[in-house]
Chain A
Amino acid sequence: MTALPLVGFVALSSALFAVGLFGILTRRNFILVLIAIEIAMNAAILNFVYFGAFSNGTAGLTGQAVAVVLIGFAATEVAVGLAIVLALNRVKGTINVAQANELKL
Chain B
Amino acid sequence: MGALARRRRRRIVGLLVLLGLAALACLASIAIGSKPIALDAVWHGLTAPTDTENDIIVRSLRIPRTELALLAGAALGVAGALIQGHTRNPLADPGLLGVTSGAAFAVVVGIFAFGLTSLYGYVWLAFLGAVLTTGLVFLLGAAGRGGPTPLTLALAGAAVSALMVGLISAMAVIDQQSLEAFRFWRVGAVAGRDPVIIGQVLPFLAVGLVLALANAPGLNALSLGEDVARSIGQHVLRTRVLGLVAITLLTGGAVAACGPIGFVGLVVPHVARYVTGPDHRWLLPYAGLIGAVLLLVADIIGRVIAWPGELQVGIVLALIGAPVFVAIVRRKRLVRL
The answer to whether A binds B is no
Chain B residues within CB distance 8 Å of chain A: none
Chain A residues within CB distance 8 Å of chain B: none
